[in-house]
Amino acid sequence: MRTCFILLFSLIFINVAAQQKPVDTMFDRQLEEVVVTATRSERKLSNVTVPTTLIAQKTIRQSGSLRLHDILGEQTGLFITQSFGRGVQMQGLSPDYTLILLNGEPLIGRTGGVLDLSRVAVGNIRRIEIVKGPSSSLYGSEALGGVINIITDQATGRKLQADLRYGRFQTIDASLNGTIRSGKLTAGGFVNHNSSQGYSLKPNSLTKTVEPFWRFTGQGNLAYQFNENSRFNLDLRYAKEQIQNSIAVQNLGTVVVSKGRETNQDLNILPSYSYRFNQRLKTSFRGYLSQFRSQQALEVKNLVQGYDDQFRQDFYRIENQTDIHISEKLETNVGGGFIKEYVASNRYDSLSTRRANQVGYVFFQQEWRPVERLTLIAGLRFDANQAYASVWSPKLSLQYRINESWSLTGSAGRGFKAPDFRQLYLNFTNVAAGSYSVFGSLVAKDEVLALQSAGQIDQLMPAFEKLADLKPETSTGLNAGIQYRYGSSGRVQLNIFRNDISNLILTDIIAFKTNGGQIFSYLNISEAFTQGFDVEAGWKFWKYLDVSGGYQFLSTADKAVLEQIDAGQVFKRDEQTGVSSRLTRSDYAGLPGRSKHMANLKFFYNPSSEKWFASARIVYRSGWGTTDLDGNGIINRDDEFAEGFALVNISGGYTVLPGLRVMAGIDNLFNYTDEVNLPGQPGINPYITLSADFGKIRNRSKTK
């Protein structure tokens, strides 16, 4: 590990020579969109070799988005899932397999594999970059489906802005965003309050579908520019949310309501220092500390057992990345780092036992432009892990510009996701619902043997013998695309993708208790694929109307199910007669929770005076499999699907006075709800926002 590090660094210094680098990123940013996530270094959006989407601050504001899932849910091929909070499904991969970064560092605190996107406020997000396809060659674990990088406002000058929004269900969202500059020091701050009284989709129910909640987010940024080559930056974030959680238990007439509460807290501290030796060599050191604290408590009531579950996760990382501009044709990025992670939970063993894991990693990326039209990028990352096997993650990508308008891209890469603490250490028994237990793979054997010697095990299943050290879940992803650009006013792109996922970790029954209860553990048992294509097009009409649209076609399958179907081992049951018959491939709808068709159409109208704006966005998703109802464990019958739907969101804003803006909007204009499958969709949701830009107001009073 250490040897590797030294080798890489010597490589850097050997390669350094003096030559000018012509790219001035500050000016380019004004002219053309620049992204950083695709290559971990600044690139023009039109030059990247992998499918990349950029969402600008203006789009986020004009869409009336408050939380991260609001804006991601309107993007092509992304679907917001509603289990364990809001997760994002990308290229048909579950939320577990998309890495969420905040200013380049991973957000932690996943529940059931899902990082709840509603914990992230978007009020001070400058832009969001979405990279589709496996990206573990740069980012390591979790980057199977892709990477979403949220980049917050960096202080540039003097600014103070306030927003206040009121919406249905007594939703209040208030933000204050300010930056200040004093010589070489810039500082910025953002605070946000978000609360709602929740709502009920079921009339006359004792508990609400979404219970009242409040959230607070505070963010700070401090930057010191020592000189033009040397810069220190500090990003801070603290977020807290509290959600009421009532549970009603019914026993043939008698109802008991128990009050509960969930509290989640995030802390992120990210100091970084970058130094430019010369035009050809730049290095940056980053430190990252993140803590996640979660508590779910329910008071004890007659019939209902109380609980007080706590989960604490700590993530520490140090990292260096060095960028070497060897020549116009060659660009190198190398880096490495060390991660230490701790988790404690009373669902594992006890809060006092901290489970630890550490990872050391190095990565290398080489960009080569043999001819002007062709860009080739090769990347490789090695992760050495204490708790599971080491992983190599390679990636190759290219872009070929046919001419001014047309270009081709292609990429092939590997992604992986490390087994998480839950899959390794969970120790959970649900006494109420059938007395089932779930044990992490590292503790399962001992727990089952202990139960067996206590005479509580009826039968060991074949899966018990298969319990082994979990391997990381891996994917191989292929993306091939064609892009057409018409100046700055139009673009059309098509991307075809295929992801093959191996070693998928799923729960399987390892034993049965004498009382009939099932015991589950985690095993690398499954292989799956997702494939399809997406098309995106955007056109600007008369310089003030932006029309864009997107479509994704998706097909997925569990490979083991396909094999069983081919072997005639999968059956279905006729709903009317109850008679079984053999299932064919065409009956099989693939992985649950995936829509075959997704589409969106968006209009943004921004007259050149910028005095007002209007937008309308339509997001469509076809039906998706929810739960197996005919006992074969797969989705094949019509009633096993949730109904497809389209949401229409509109918004508009008007500048009353310079610096003072009123915005109003209606989300879900046609009041679509689905109580069972979309509990997080409240129906029609009108809102009004007042925004004040104190800088502009002051300027105006000065000119008077």
As a whole number of angstroms, the distance between CA 476 and CA 1 comes to 25
Residue among 223 and 519 whose Cβ is closer to another protein: 519
Residue among 181 and 301 whose Cβ is closer to another protein: 301
Backbone angles phi, psi at 31, to 5 degrees: -85, -45
Query: Rule CB under 8 A: which residues touch another protein?
Result: 249-252, 303, 431-434, 458-459, 509, 512, 514, 516, 518, 569-573, 575, 577-582, 627-633, 639, 676
Residue among 368 and 512 whose Cβ is closer to another protein: 512
Task: Output the CA torsion 139→141→142→146 (10° steps).
Answer: 30
- Burial of residue 587 (number of CB atoms within 10 Å: 0-12, 13-18, 19+): middle
Which residue's entry shows tokens 């009531």?
Answer: 301
Residue among 15 and 456 whose Cβ is closer to another protein: 456
Residue among 364 and 520 whose Cβ is closer to another protein: 520
In whole angstroms, how close is the CB of 427 to another protein at the nearest point?
A: 20
Strand pairing partners for 313? 292, 343
Residue among 508 and 667 whose Cβ is closer to another protein: 508
In whole angstroms, how close is the CB of 537 to another protein at the nearest point?
A: 39
Residue among 446 and 458 whose Cβ is closer to another protein: 458
In whole angstroms, how close is the CB of 455 to another protein at the nearest point?
A: 10
Which residue's entry shows tokens 């000018």?
Answer: 20
Contact 208, 191 (CB under 8 A): no
In whole angstroms, how close is the CB of 572 to another protein at the nearest point?
A: 5
Report how far apart, in Å, the C-alpha atoms of 371 and of each of 329, 401, 474, 508, 520 are: 8, 10, 34, 52, 56
Contact 445, 369 (CB under 8 A): no
Ramachandran region, residue 591 (left: φ > 0; alpha: ψ -120 to 50; beta: rest): beta
Residue among 211 and 508 whose Cβ is closer to another protein: 508
In whole angstroms, how close is the CB of 432 to another protein at the nearest point?
A: 4
In whole angstroms, how close is the CB of 164 to another protein at the nearest point?
A: 39
In whole angstroms, how close is the CB of 588 to another protein at the nearest point?
A: 13
Which residue's entry shows tokens 């939380």?
Answer: 67
Residue among 121 and 457 whose Cβ is closer to another protein: 457
In whole angstroms, how close is the CB of 204 to another protein at the nearest point?
A: 12
- Spatial neighbors of 184 by CB under 8 A, at least 6 apart, are 224, 225, 226
In whole angstroms, how close is the CB of 202 to another protein at the nearest point?
A: 10
Residue 105: closest CA among 268, 321, 285: 268
Report how far apart, in Å, the C-alpha atoms of 490 and of each of 64, 158, 244, 399, 637 are: 25, 35, 47, 19, 42
